Amino acid sequence: MTEETPTVWVPVCCGRMMRCNLFRQADGSVLAALVCTMCSKNITLEQEPLAEPNHYGEGTNLLRLLGSPKPPKTDRRKVVSEPGGDEPTL
């Protein structure tokens, strides 16, 4: 049997890893924001209890997402180790 290397999704914009900021709200809930340090594009993530994945729609996948408050300031090379690694949006 071959051992698979664990993988994660890395949020990238403008060729660089996006910064991840966490915010605790007054009610105790937590929000996260992925922010591009080049163009300031941002994505807000809301924390929810894990429900049955299909609760969010047919074909839902759980993703491991890497977030860093201080990502490297170097351009990322595109790394594709197997065919189909850059799948189109469904």
Summarize pLDDT for 22-68 with one digit per residue, the tens.
999 999 889 999 999 999 999 999 888 877 777 888 888 888 888 88
- Cα-trace Rg, the chain: 16
Structural domains in the chain (count): 1
Torsion angle (degrees, nearest 10) of CA 47, 50, 55, 58: 90
Range of the domain at 19: 8-48+64-70
pTM value is: 0.68
Q: Is residue 55 part of a domain?
A: no
Q: Is residue 42 part of a domain?
A: yes
First CA to last CA distance, the chain: 31
Q: Is residue 58 part of a domain?
A: no
Q: Is residue 79 part of a domain?
A: no
What gap in Å lies between CA 69 and CA 35, rounded to an integer?
10
Q: Is residue 89 part of a domain?
A: no
Higher pLDDT, 1 or 24: 24
**DSSP β-ladder status, 12-13 and 19-24:** unpaired
Q: Is residue 84 part of a domain?
A: no
Q: Is residue 43 part of a domain?
A: yes
